[in-house]
């Protein structure tokens, strides 16, 4: 029970004519050690939800428990600094937040802010550059010299340098080309599987949800519509339809084959698995 939302609501600009209830009575538990996708239509409240995880936004009612720290509506949160070290939040388009003259300075900014010595912070910067697969020679360059995808990796490296236990990424692959976005997802998988970080990803990409994530949380109109195991979720064709979600290509193909009268098992989620199941059916009818 590392992350728990209990009846969390968030209203922007409360008590003004512009007041807007972006989250209502959210109950949600995020499983530690898993890779969880947060999906939902634009404006459904995904960003508002994840910005509560490091207390960038505070609940207007309800209570959150994040790695043993309790954040309650109306109570000034304590230990904010250590929470922000433990929960790394990567904004959408984080490359716009690089502001130092060199990449090294950008990456060591966070650790130094948390009291790490310059020497140790530089050592850490080297480690995280390796982790995000960027050449050390970039450390002395300006962030402006990098491509969009590289800048984004530097921004993520800056968060990783603080050694967060939980990594929250708001649409981390938006605007990247297919190869860049695969590499980015591969990095998150590595952080999850090899470094045991709990990873939460806000995404619109259902292929990424199926291929990389364990669990999926659907946000709808400021509420949690459901939280399920990814495969269980995509097995429910009518649920995806109801939510206006176009399932991953492999799931669409299986659904189409079922409509053509094929009898396929419900656990084929890779090209290989589906091909084998179809060939079995075809042979059966020969
Ligand atoms: N700072 C803000 N002030 C007022 N309303 C906001 C603010 N940020 C977001 N909203 C509104 O809250 C709702 C949820 O927004 P957001 O959490 O950004 O959704 P998502 O990330 O799912 O697209 C939207 O209707 C949005 O317009
Ligand atoms: Mg958003």
- What does the DSSP 8-state code read for residue 58? -
**202 Cα: distance to centroid of ligand 2 (angstroms):** 8
Q: Identify the residues whose C-beta falls under 6 Å from ligand 1.
A: 12-13, 20, 22, 40, 42-48
- pLDDT at site 197: 97
CB 225 within 8 A of CB 48: no
Out of 12, 60, 89, 218, give the residue to mutate to test ligand 1, the one with the largest number of ligand atoms within 8 Å of its CB: 12
Question: How far apart, in whole angstroms, are the C-alpha atoms of residue 45 and residue 57?
Answer: 12
CB 236 within 8 A of CB 242: no
Instruction: Give the global pTM.
Output: 0.95
What is the mean pLDDT of the segment spanning 255-273?
92
95-127: pLDDT as tens digits: 888 889 999 999 999 999 989 999 999 999 999
Helix (H) or strand (E) segment spanning residue 20: strand 20-30
Q: What CATH number was assigned to the domain covering residues 32-53+77-230? A: 3.40.50.300
Question: What are the residues facing 219 on neighbouring strands?
Answer: 224
**56 Cα: distance to centroid of ligand 1 (angstroms):** 14
Question: What are the residues facing 21 on neighbouring strands?
Answer: 11
Question: What are the residues facing 227 on neighbouring strands?
Answer: 217
> Ligand 1: which atom is nearest the Cα of residue 44?
22
Q: Domain boundaries in the chain?
A: 32-53+77-230
Ligand nearest to the CA of 169: 2
35-45: pLDDT as tens digits: 999 999 999 99
């Amino acid at each position: 029970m590392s992350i728990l939302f209990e009846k969390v609501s968030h209203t922007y600009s409360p008590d003004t004519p512009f007041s807007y209830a972006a989250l209502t009575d959210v109950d949600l538990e995020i499983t530690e050690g898993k890779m969880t996708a947060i999906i939902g239509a634009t404006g459904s409240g995904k960003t508002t939800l994840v910005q509560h995880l490091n207390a960038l936004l505070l609940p207007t009612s309800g209570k959150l428990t994040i790695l043993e720290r309790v954040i309650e509506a109306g109570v000034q949160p304590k230990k904010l600094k250590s929470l922000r070290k433990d929960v790394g939040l990567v904004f959408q388009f984080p490359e716009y937040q690089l502001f130092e003259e060199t990449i090294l300075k950008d990456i060591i900014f966070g650790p130094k802010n948390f009291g790490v010595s310059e020497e140790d912070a530089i050592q850490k910067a080297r480690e995280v550059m390796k982790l995000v697969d960027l050449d050390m020679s970039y450390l002395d360059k300006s962030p402006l010299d990098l491509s969009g995808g590289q800048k984004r990796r530097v921004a993520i490296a800056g968060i990783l340098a603080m050694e967060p236990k939980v990594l929250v990424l708001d649409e981390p692959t938006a605007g990247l080309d297919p190869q860049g976005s695969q590499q980015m997802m591969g990095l998150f998988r590595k952080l999850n599987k090899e470094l045991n970080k709990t990873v939460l990803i806000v995404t619109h990409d259902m292929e990424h949800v199926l291929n990389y994530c364990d669990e999926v949380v659907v946000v709808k109109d400021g509420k949690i519509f459901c939280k399920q195991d990814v495969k269980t979720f995509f097995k429910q064709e009518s649920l995806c339809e109801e939510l206006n979600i176009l399932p991953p290509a492999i799931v669409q193909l299986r659904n189409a084959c079922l409509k053509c009268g094929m009898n396929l098992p419900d656990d084929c989620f890779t090209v290989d698995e589906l091909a084998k199941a179809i060939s079995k059916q075809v042979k059966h009818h020969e």
